[in-house]
Amino acid sequence: MFDVDIWQEIFSTIRKNKLRTFLTGFSVAWGIFMLMVLLGSGNGLSNGVKEQFAENAVNVMWMWTGETSIPYNGLKEGRAVKFNNQDYDFLTTKSKEVEKVSSRYYLPNDILYSYGKEYGSFETSTCYPSLKEMENINIKSGRFINDLDMLEFRKVVIIGDEIRKALFKEEDPIGKYIKIGGVPFYVIGVSQSKKRNQDNNRSAYMPFSTAQRIFNGGDRVHTFTVTSKMVQTVEEAEAINEKVRLDMANRHAFDPKDKRAMGSFNMLTEYIRTMKIFQAINLFVWIIGIGTLIAGIVGVSNIMLILVKERTKEIGIRKAIGATPFSVISLVLLESVLITTVAGYIGLVMGVGLMELINFGLEQATGAGGAENVFFKNPTVDFKTAVSATLILILSGALAGYFPSKRAASVTPIEALRDEN
Amino acid sequence: MISIQNLHKSYVTGNNSLHVLKGLDLEIKEGEFVSIMGSSGSGKSTLLNILGVLDDYDKGDYYLNGKKIWGLNETQAAITRNAMIGFIFQSFNLISFKNAMENVALPLYYQKVNRKKRNLIALEYLDRLGIKDWAHHLPSEMSGGQKQRVAIARALISKPKIILADEPTGALDSQTSLEVMEILKEVNDQGITVIIVTHEHDIAALTRKIIRLKDGVIGEVITNGDLQMYRDKVKQE
């Protein structure tokens, strides 16, 4: 299978034509280098955006109420719509579109948090245990709210890391009591956003049931955070949105088209839309990359054609003394595959290397307190893509060598022996 | 060894057709030492190409060692050439970037003989032709006579039935030409059929049969007593 002679022949030709081989290889190396850089950049953008979405579950949806702006069913506009605990029951038990639900009752923004002599105003998120999963809340120490906390209206709280620093300094807050709006709450956990300096670190979480009871909420719910079932298209995601809106419109007697009566934001629609854009960008990147690569391949093919022309006499001599068309084809084809593969591999390594270097730089910058929330993360090319690119290279080499080798095989010995080159 | 009946060959260029061989008949027996002569355009190179399975013919029959040569594809033709025919050319046709040993060994490469073995055999042939010391030299470093010896070694290495030589002395001086002809005579003495195309009378006189082509057919065959007369005449000139 491995024919030393063929390779020796190929290497001797390459040695004889160093500059030409270099220039040929360079065009292929440049093509694959650009492909890797483009793909890496595409991945970096995609990962950056995915990272932004990773703050919450991608299928999360927020709903809030307002005032009606359209008369409906004999009722005039300007009527306040208010969610309540029965809506929560409906969403958890009746709605087929919804998987998890958490209600929120807003506490005043200026509500005072204090511990000993330390105090400050922080945001309070009243919620169900399911919110942890829906908003990817990271617990640094202790635990999150559980069902028993809800059931027993426990006065427990999870404080964000910034609140911990403000109230407790170096002290461990777990098991300590803090006052929120003058009411003592038992600290059961500390949350810390995976991203530094996030507003979430200035938020505290307490059981919805407790907040509603202690802060006179009655059965009022200000907002719902829900996760819908996963779908693949924007249309399906919007249909879910519409169905939930219709359910709520029926329950609260407002026109489903009335956007001011009930507002909502469906993350899934945005996620699918964004991912579609990235799929298109990815396709675009591949098209440009492949285009660049094709330019390189055409270059190799041209050079190989010139090479075949230059070697016409040699091919004729070989044929006269017994070279079969197959042996001539394999000689030209393997040389083309060798140049393309080696040069392309160098381009591949350089492209991947550059993207790894950029990634390293980005990580260092982020680690050193530099860029936050960058829309560019891990701009590297995965192993599968690199293997695919290598296979494409070998195939490209074969393609680039195919026509010249066919030309070489079709050279008749007489015609070749007459050649004066 | 070679049997040709009513051989026709034309070349078509554009709207013009050139009828080169016009019903040529030829018999060459095994072990013969033949020269083919003729004026320019008489068809001698065309005939040699057909004999060497380098070119097709249009009509007629050609049997080589009992095998009909007709309609062979490129691969079959290449195998036939490799197994039965050794070529020697006026311009040597050595591969420039291969040394003498590698050039000589090349036909064995196409017979799938391993590298070490074929190089050993090539050295043996170079030794027989007196140029073993030049085994590792490139053709560009050799004289015309040395190059032709390398070409002869390459033609002989695959143990062919026939040696076809196209103006083998055309590029050599008279002394070297005689040396090359002496080698070909020795080759012929070993039983190998040698056919040379030449326009040089003194070279043709060194063979044992002269075939003169005229207008695409055999015009004259000089052999035996006639050949001696021909040799004497050449000597006088």
Structural domain includes residue A318: yes
Structural domain includes residue A240: no
Helix (H) or strand (E) holding A220: strand A220-221
Q: Judge if A404 and A323 occupy the same domain.
A: yes
Residues of B whose CB is below 8 A from A316: 93
CB of B234 within 8 Å of a chain A CB? The answer is: no
Q: Judge if A175 and A302 occupy the same domain.
A: no
Residues of B whose CB is below 8 A from A420: none
Q: Residue B164 in 3-state DSSP?
A: strand
Helix (H) or strand (E) holding B3: strand B2-13
| pLDDT values of chain B reduced to their tens digit, one per residue, 237 residues | 899 999 999 988 888 888 999 999 999 999 999 999 998 888 888 899 999 999 889 999 999 988 899 888 889 999 999 999 999 988 889 998 889 999 999 999 988 888 889 999 999 999 988 899 999 999 999 998 899 999 999 998 999 999 999 988 888 888 888 988 998 999 999 999 999 999 888 899 999 999 999 888 998 898 877 888 888 888 787
Q: Which of residues 327-346 of A touch B (CB under 8 A)?
A: 327
CA atoms within 13 A on the CB side of B213: 28
Residues of A whose CB is below 8 A from B82: 321-322
Q: What is the DSSP string of A102-162?
A: EEE-PPPTT-EEEETTEEEE-EEEEE-TTHHHHTTPPEEEE----HHHHHTT--EEEEEHH
Number of domains in chain A: 2
pLDDT at A380: 78
Q: Which of B74, B75, B81 sits opposite A320 (nearest CB)?
A: B81
B105: Cβ contacts below 8 Å, ≥ 6 apart: B115, B118, B119, B121, B122, B157
Residues of B whose CB is below 8 A from A414: 49, 54-55
pLDDT at A367: 63
Domain containing A291 equals 4-54+277-418
Chain B nearest-CA distance from A289, in A, is 38
Q: Which of residues 8-27 of A touch B (CB under 8 A)?
A: 12-13, 16
CB of B57 within 8 Å of a chain A CB? The answer is: no
CB pairs under 8 A between A and B: 62
Q: Judge if A303 and A401 occupy the same domain.
A: yes
Residues of B whose CB is below 8 A from A14: none
Is B97–A324 a contact, with Cβ atoms under 8 angstroms apart? Answer: no
Q: What is the DSSP string of B8-74?
A: EEEEEETTEEEEEEEEEEEEE-TT-EEEEEE-TTSSHHHHHHHHTTSS--SEEEEEETTEE--S--H
Residues of A whose CB is below 8 A from B158: 321-322
CB of A406 within 8 Å of a chain B CB? The answer is: no
Structural domain includes residue A358: yes
Q: Which of B82, B95, B115 sits opposite A4 (nearest CB)?
A: B115
Structural domain includes residue A161: yes
Is A314–B54 a contact, with Cβ atoms under 8 angstroms apart? Answer: no
Q: What angle do CA A44, A45, A48 make, to 5 degrees?
A: 85
Cβ(A53)–Cβ(A236) below 8 Å: no
CB of B76 within 8 Å of a chain A CB? The answer is: no
Structural domain includes residue A81: no
Output the six-digit token pair for A42.
Answer: 């595409």
CB of B93 within 8 Å of a chain A CB? The answer is: yes
Residues of A whose CB is below 8 A from B152: none
Structural domain includes residue A270: no
Residues of A whose CB is below 8 A from B55: 412, 414
Q: Which one of B56, B95, B150 would you mutate to disrupt binding with A, by most A Cβ within 10 Å of its Cβ? A: B95
pLDDT at A195: 64
pLDDT at A270: 84
Cβ(A28)–Cβ(A228) below 8 Å: no
Cβ(A214)–Cβ(A156) below 8 Å: no
Structural domain includes residue A154: yes
Mean pLDDT by 10 residues, chain A (421 residues): 71 78 83 84 81 76 92 90 93 88 88 91 92 89 94 95 92 94 94 71 92 90 89 85 91 92 88 84 81 77 80 87 88 84 88 87 69 66 78 79 83 73 51
Q: Judge if A400 and A317 occupy the same domain.
A: yes
Is A322–B81 a contact, with Cβ atoms under 8 angstroms apart? Answer: yes
pLDDT at A20: 78
pTM of the model: 0.65
Can you tell me the ipTM of this complex?
Answer: 0.91
Residues of A whose CB is below 8 A from B115: 4-5
CATH code reported for the domain at B30-55+74-236: 3.40.50.300
pLDDT at B45: 86
Is B89–A318 a contact, with Cβ atoms under 8 angstroms apart? Answer: no
Where helices occur in A253-324 by DSSP H, the ranges are: 267-310, 312-320
Please say which residue of A200, A223, A252 terminates a domain: A200
Residues of B whose CB is below 8 A from A12: 97-98
Q: How far apart are CA B65 and CA B45, in angstroms?
A: 21
Q: Which one of A3, A318, A321 would you mutate to disrupt binding with B, by most B Cβ within 10 Å of its Cβ? A: A321
Q: Judge if A396 and A288 occupy the same domain.
A: yes
CA distances from B38 to A404, B169, B197 (A): 39, 16, 9
Is B95–A317 a contact, with Cβ atoms under 8 angstroms apart? Answer: yes
Nearest Cα residue in chain B from A326? B75
Nearest Cα residue in chain B from A17? B97
Long-range contacts of A243-252 (CB under 8 A, 24+ apart): A243/A95, A243/A97, A244/A61, A244/A63, A244/A91, A244/A95, A244/A97, A244/A98, A247/A90, A247/A94, A247/A95, A248/A63, A248/A83, A248/A87, A251/A86, A251/A87, A251/A90, A252/A65, A252/A81, A252/A82
A407: Cβ contacts below 8 Å, ≥ 6 apart: A305, A308
Structural domain includes residue A24: yes
Q: How far apart are CA A261 and CA A69, in angstroms?
A: 7
Q: Which one of B81, B90, B150, B157 would you mutate to disrupt binding with A, by most A Cβ within 10 Å of its Cβ? A: B81
Sorted by where each begins, the domain ranges of chain B are 30-55+74-236
Calculate what percentage of chain B has a pLDDT beyond 90: 53
Is A414–B49 a contact, with Cβ atoms under 8 angstroms apart? Answer: yes
pLDDT at A147: 94
pLDDT at A102: 93
CA distances from B184 to A324, B46, B181 (A): 28, 22, 5
Is A314–B95 a contact, with Cβ atoms under 8 angstroms apart? Answer: yes
Q: What angle do CA B60, B61, B62 make, to 5 degrees?
A: 130
Q: Which one of B106, B111, B158, B162 would you mutate to disrupt binding with A, by most A Cβ within 10 Å of its Cβ? A: B106
Q: Which of A5, A12, A414 sits opposite B54 (nearest CB)?
A: A414
Across the strands, what pairs with A207? A127
Q: How far apart are CA A28 and CA A11, in angstroms?
A: 19
Is A321–B154 a contact, with Cβ atoms under 8 angstroms apart? Answer: yes
- Tell me what the pLDDT averaged over chain B comes to: 90
Nearest Cα residue in chain A from B93? A317
Q: What is the DSSP string of B85-149?
A: EEEEETT----TTS-HHHHHHHHHHTTT--HHHHHHHHHHHHHHTT-GGGTTS-GGGS-HHHHHH
Q: How far apart are CA A214 and CA A226, in angstroms?
A: 24
What do you get for the CA distance between the two ends of chain A, in Å?
Answer: 33
B89: Cβ contacts below 8 Å, ≥ 6 apart: A417, B151, B165, B166, B167, B168
Q: Residue B222 in 3-state DSSP?
A: strand
Residues of A whose CB is below 8 A from B109: 5
Q: Which of A321, A324, A326 sits opposite B106 (nearest CB)?
A: A321
